[in-house]
Structure 1
Amino acid sequence: MAVPKQGRPIQIQSYKHNGQLHRTWQETTILKATSTRVIGANDRTRVTENDGRSWITREPAICFFYTKHWFNVISMIRSDGIHYYCNISSPFVFETGAVKYIDYDLDVKVFPDMTYTLLDEDEYKLHQAEMNYPSVLDRILWDNVQQLIFLIRQRRGPFSHELIEQLYELFLTYRLYD
């Protein structure tokens, strides 16, 4: 698999299990990339929904995508601290200038004090039935919810405030030269 180049802009494209494009983030700057992990950042980027509506993000965000985990993590830097939005998703692929993944509806919202809540279980159950998720996929997704909660409790990986601050500083250096 090709790896995006550090400092370069890419798109992020979210799909549903049936292959339908769900949501696109117009521009995210690559901060670090390997064959198994991509970390990007954006601020005030346009997001386009599958129905054509669009909106602009409100705060800087550091985004983590993995090829070995069935989730991705968006770390949002707000005035009251770092908030996290975690999507239970397929591992990403990078092609045609975009990080692409399948969004499986289940989300974990994490607050600055590291408390968290699981979201969208009803939406997951609806799409699971509509799109006939196989039982093995259901097990993988719920196992990854548990793995994600473990990382949150340990404050490891994308849940390290120190790491987010370092990556945000790197993002700011790229923005100086835009």
Structure 2
Amino acid sequence: MIDWIFLISFYVISYTSKKGVLIIVNSPPKPITISAFKYDNRLHYSWDTQLIEETERYVLVNGQAGRQLAHHTKNKIFVCSTPSLEYFSLKDAFTVNIDIHPNGNLEYYCNIALPPEYEDGNVSFIDLDVDIVKIPGEDWKMVDYDEFIVNSRLLNYPEDIFQFVEHSVDKLKSRIEKQSFPFDGFFDAYIDEIIINQSTSEGRQL
């Protein structure tokens, strides 16, 4: 038996050759709110997205261009001009945000965090400051370690958080270098679909 799965506007079309049956599952996007907290459980920032896929292992969402990000620490609202593909592992200590620019360039922002939790249409996680990022034309690099040191004093991080962050950074770097899941091409089809959808949406507005 051969199963083929295609993504069309994030609806699933599944074809099973053994039965010769074409099954179409078509449902409106499910809204998902993302909330990031600091170690003292203070809400840091939040924004709304649309669900693409949820499994026991991860939640994958699409951030629409023009979405608002509420930065509660700074008491400001930011408007995100580009669409994004966002991956939240429910098992591992990182998140992945991919900003998709109009020219096709991709900007990766991986947040070291306590494993996110997913419940009732909400993804929440504890932000541990350190990020691994990649912008077009540059290599992957770690940023905001100085912020981690400052917050470790302000928020009284225990010693095991230092070890946890160090281990999590090494593990994430290893995945990226070895092109292990989800850095093994898993994101590619979803990124292509977001680009197509964005181009179609802009075309309708002309």
Range class of TM-score, shorter chain = 0.7 to 0.9
Instruction: From the superposition, tell whether residues 6 and 120 of structure 1 become closer, same or farther in structure 2 (CA, over 3 Å).
Output: farther
After TM superposition, the score normalised by the length of structure 2 is 0.74
* 1:18 match: secondary structure: coil
Question: 1:61-120 CA distances to partner (integer Å, 9 max, x unpaired)?
Answer: 111111221111111222252220011111111234210001111011113457111111
Q: Aligned AA for 2:93?
A: W
Q: Which residue of 2 aligns with 1:166?
A: 189
Residue matched to 1:156? 180
Identity of aligned residues (%): 24
Alignment of 1:135 with 2:156, yes or no, is no
Counterparts of 2:178 and 2:105 in 1: how far apart (Å)? 18
Q: How does 1:99-118 map to 2 (within 5 A)?
A: 99-112=123-136, 115-118=139-142
For the pair 1:39 / 2:63, whether they are aligned, the reply is: no
The question of whether the paired residues in 2 share the 8 Å contact of 1:93 and 1:100 is answered with: yes
Q: How many residues align?
A: 171
In 2: Cα distance, 1:52 partner to 1:120 partner: 20
1:73 counterpart residue number: 96
Alignment partners' CA distance in 2, 1:93 and 1:68: 9
Structure 2 counterpart of 1:60, one-letter code: P
1:100 aligns to what SS in structure 2?
A: strand
Q: Is the 8 A contact 2:113 2:126 kept in 1?
A: yes
Query: Per residue, is there more helix in 1 or in 2?
Result: 1
Letter in 1 for 2:95: N
Q: Does residue 1:64 correspond to 2:87, yes or no?
A: yes
Letter in 1 for 2:44: H
Q: Deviations over 1:16-45 (max 9, x none)?
A: 0001000001x2111111122111111221
CA distance in 2, matches of 1:135, 1:87: 20
- Tell me the SS of whatever aligns to 1:163: coil
State yes or no: 1:48 paired with 2:70.
yes
Structure 2 unmatched ranges of 5 or more: 1-26, 201-206
One-letter amino acid of the structure 2 residue matched with residue 76 of structure 1: D
Residues 83 and 194, structure 2, Cα contact 8 Å, conserved in 1: no
Instruction: Please tell me the root mean square deviation across aligned C-alpha atoms, in Å.
Output: 2.5
Of residues 163-172 and 148-157 in structure 1, the stretch that sits farther from structure 2 once superposed is 163-172
Contact residue 48 and residue 55 of structure 1 kept, 8 A: yes
Moved more, 16-25 or 150-159: 150-159
Q: Give, in whole Å, the separation in 1 of the partners of 2:53 and 2:181.
A: 14
Which residue in 1 is equivalent to 2:20? none
**1:95 aligned residue (119, 126, 134):** 119
Q: What's the secondary structure of 1:64's corresponding residue?
A: strand
Q: 1:13 to 1:73 in 2, by over 3 A?
A: same
Secondary structure of the corresponding residue to residue 75 of structure 2: coil
Task: Report if aligned partners of 2:100, 2:195 keep a CA contact under 8 Å in 1.
Answer: no
Structure 2 residue aligned with 1:126 = 150
Q: Flag the 1:96–1:52 CA change in 2: closer, same or farther, 3 A.
A: farther
- Determine which structure has more spread, i.e. the larger CA radius of gyration: 2
TM-score (norm 1): 0.84
